[in-house]
Structure 1
Amino acid sequence: MNAADTAWIIVATALVLFMTLPGLALFYGGLVRARNVLSVFMQCFGIACLMSILWLVAGYSIAFGDGNAYWGGLGKAFLSGVDEETMAGNIPEVLFFAFQMTFAIITPALIVGAYVERIRFGFVMLFSALWMLICYAPVAHWVWGGGLLAGGEGALFAEGVNDFAGGIVVHQTAGIAALIVAAFLGGRRDKGKPPHNPGMVMIGAAMLWVGWFGFNGGSELAANGSAAMALTVTHLSAATASLTWILWERIRYGKTSLVGLVTGTIAGLASITPASGSVGPVEALIIGGVAGILCQELCGIVKNTLNIDDTLDVFAVHGVGGMFGIIMLAVFGYADWTAQLGGLAVVGIWTIVTTTVIVLVAKAVFPIRVSEEDEHTGLDLTSHGERAYDMSS
């Protein structure tokens, strides 16, 4: 065991959990209307709890067990054969389990942004559980667990997909799943209201930014110069995308918004994620600079051209950002074009098929959408019996 590596990954694990709780919850919560903010908190917190248990039961084993090229099997279910002395490289395997658990938490939690303000809580929990086990965990095995897309003998592509921290595994899968769930749900009855608390959005985005240092820097699984570079390029991409987003806003609309600024931050973070283990500072500036404009344009395409109410732009920001970062690795010569594009295609098809089936199964058990009256009243009161604010004051 390397003590420095172990200490850093303990910190990184806490940082990645911090991204979901409270970072993502606050970011999404501020973007919805006041009558739905607690429902967003409830969904993020409930998903975090349920994914933690399911990762222990089977998710970790499916992703990182010693199975075959397609899945890891159930040999490590309930951490069978793993104790405090078992190692994963230079760190305890139980710590590697915990670090990867935080990724399994945030990936289905990202999808929340697509369906807020109109979905039933029971459906959210069942869908998230099935999706993490059936869609996310196998993809994690293919890319990070030595499986189908990892390269080498028996893999689809000899070079293997280069996805350092989750452009495909996290952001592409969550983005595509978000689009599918939103399409099944249909749009909100009233799409015209602005975010109820832009300040809360900024606070959540700031927490995500800080937590992302653990997400990308921790993916090196070591306390070394490569981790330091991953952290540095992550920051530079986020900063650049923030500025290009509001510059493009200014050109198009004549104003720059706080929500736009911090949404650009998230676009830059998602885009650098797969490339953060390979690129240098100048390449990070390029990735972030393009991402701030590209992801903003995709927001309009999804809503106006595809006519899908992906409420908080999960596909445009996370999905497109992650896929863009995967492609830029090939552009800069850090990955094989065939492997990168092939990986995107394989995982894209897998995500579309599995997510569609899971939605159909879950909605057969729980109705997917709340009633029109409940949507008008707000999910905080109708689904959870609470209010975030005293409306009478």
Structure 2
Amino acid sequence: MRRFRIGKSDFEEDGVGLGEALADAYRRKVRPLCLCSKPGSRMYIAKIGDHYIVKRMPLSGGEHDPSCESFESPYELSGLGALLGSAIQLDSQSGMAALKLDFSLSKTGSRAAAAQTGPGSNSVAGETKRLSLLGLLHYLWHEAELTVWTSRWAGKRHWWNVQWHIGEAAKQMIVKGSSLAEILYVPEAFRKEKKEAIEKRRMEALLPAIPPKTGSRRLMVLVGEVKSFDPARTGHKLVVKHMPGFPFMVDDVLHRRILSRCEKEISLWEADDRSHLMAIATFGLNPAGLAIIEETALMVVGENWVPYETIHEKKLVDALAKVSEKSVKGLRYNLPADQPIANALFQHRPSPVALYIVPVGAGEKYEAALEEMIAARPEIGAWVWRVGDGDIPLLP
């Protein structure tokens, strides 16, 4: 049972009076303390409808006791560790994460659009000082806790949950001195009977993307589920679920690059009817009010919205979906595919266990890096599936 300190009072997670205390603290912008460890870890309060939820501050998982729901295993086991202190910088006073991006949020004149695809494909090898577009999507997914799953949640994670959690996570991130939430657009769940109100809110949210009469145009960031890429009179258009009648225009050059560089993601999506294809893209509005995509990246997630990169990761994600214990999916961020990561973790147990997948054809360099990663964290057990040896082993 988690305990929180709000002001001078302590509350148990399901204790009497916590709801009122959280509502008051939310209005006064007071941060609760999680008392799982001394002297306590600062949290923040998120509001969903009339309910208030206490959430972990960005990158603070290591401050919590391993028995606490907010605990996270070392970030070095995923691609996140390489970005801390450079691409992602945490302000210890405000608790906000300042992000450095390797893509532009403005546009002057015309230039060829880009397709950011697999990890490491869009940057010089070893360059981790800035977040790629895909890396930003991974970080949003991680901070929104959409990488966490337990079978007890089956049938309870829907698009409105995903949209809300991503929006709350973005409020804790800063890009060039401003909140990422100001330029991030994640479409709300569409309801035909609420069409007019939804479109009005969308128009208000996209105001930053309206082009000025002179000077560079400000771009926004879209995170949405791909419904289809359809032909247009010139080029193509990305149709996003929950945005009927509002296409995102894609020129022929970018469309060809998407088909070429995102072939893996598209093929995985097409192979499983229950999976979702997520797009993150920078876009602006032209004088006609049409949304024009500048750069994009794609990510495949399973029916529970947990990401996967290969058919073997899909098998692991499916196996974890049946387990009542919480698991956490590891993400690659900017790391190239030939560098190992912990593909998943069981971290809320006395002895955490990292789950590793070794692909067919992994060479000596890959195996050496994996051994080094495991040896560096002797307190964390290792489950290894060498795909070339056969089907997925029993989970630990």
Give me the TM-score of the superposition, normalised by structure 2.
Answer: 0.31
Greater fraction strand: 2
Which has the higher Rg, Structure 1 or Structure 2? 2
Greater fraction helix: 1
Give me the TM-score of the superposition, normalised by structure 1.
Answer: 0.31
Give the structure, 1 or 2, with the largest relative contact order (CA under 8 Å, sep 6 or more). 1
